[in-house]
Amino acid sequence: GENVEQHPSTLSVQEGDSAVIKCTYSDSASNYFPWYKQELGKGPQLIIDIRSNVGEKKDQRIAVTLNKTAKHFSLHITETQPEDSAVYFCATPPPGNTGKLIFGQGTTLQVKP
Amino acid sequence: DAGVTQSPTHLIKTRGQQVTLRCSPISGHKSVSWYQQVLGQGPQFIFQYYEKEERGRGNFPDRFSARQFPNYSSELNVNALLLGDSALYLCASTALITPEQYFGPGTRLTVT
């Protein structure tokens, strides 16, 4: 079945620096790749996503890139701020099943002021 | 617009008891998926319901069941609770015509 590996598990950066989180998936037919931000005591919040027909997508300080050949996708956060501190999850649905998401293990991002 | 709502927020139960968790999807969304999130891990898929029918099931025992109502709200039931069932239970809704899933705040279940 589909498997998603996420790295690193923890990431600490200084405010203003960039942060990059990478995920690798196993099924080459996967075609949708969302990223979620989860703050303490809250549910995951969809922050950006990308479909397989696009290589990169940006939304202000965040961007997602997709490399279908290598089967990996990455979250890029620029000009990090303390409020970016949270746990970030990548995910992908098994091909043909949009009701189920397979999540990575999560990355705890700490942005130091 | 209201997002996905879940109730209750927190719940404490004893081993062997039964629990019912509730979820209301975003208005217009007809599909609801349930996930279990153990501390320090990513959410694990339990069920998907669409048009009141189970459309998918994860690797969870039969003690877990769910249903969806005509208004697309959903309930998750867990029988014979075990200590290992302690987790954050998340509900997500999707319109299905697009793949985005939106999560509720979750119900924190503690089994003692």
pLDDT in tens, B50-94: 988 999 999 999 999 999 999 999 999 999 999 999 999 999 999
Residue B97, pLDDT > 90, answer no
Confidence (pLDDT) at B106: 98
Please provide the average confidence, as pLDDT, over all residues in chain B.
95
Judge whether B95 is closer than 8 Å to chain A, CB to CB: no
Alpha helices in A4-110 (DSSP H): none
Residue A86, pLDDT > 70, answer yes
Q: Which residues sit opposite A6 in a β-bridge?
A: A23
Give the residue-averaged pLDDT of B7-21: 98
CA dist A21 and A35 (Å) reads 10
Judge whether B9 is closer than 8 Å to chain A, CB to CB: no
Structure tokens belonging to residue A3: 């498997």
Residue A96, pLDDT > 80, answer no
Distance from CA of B14 to the nearest CA of A (A): 22
Confidence (pLDDT) at B10: 97
Which residues of chain A have a CB within 8 Å of the CB of B9? none
Distance from CA of A38 to the nearest CA of B (A): 10
What is the chain A residue with the closest CA to B37?
Answer: A43
Position with higher pLDDT, A29 vs B4 = B4
What is the chain A residue with the closest CA to B31?
Answer: A99
Confidence of residue B1 (pLDDT cuts 50, 70, 90): low
Q: Which residues sit opposite A102 in a β-bridge?
A: A92
Give the residue-averaged pLDDT of A85-112: 93
Structure tokens belonging to residue B11: 């719940």
Nearest-CB residue to B55 (from A6, A99, A105): A99
What is the chain A residue with the closest CA to B57?
Answer: A100
Which residues of chain A have a CB within 8 Å of the CB of B42? 6, 89, 91, 103-106
CA dist A15 and B86 (Å) reads 35
Position with higher pLDDT, A33 vs A96 = A33
Q: Inter-chain contact B100–A43, Cβ cutoff 8 Å?
A: no
Confidence of residue A19 (pLDDT cuts 50, 70, 90): very high
Residue A97, pLDDT > 80, answer no
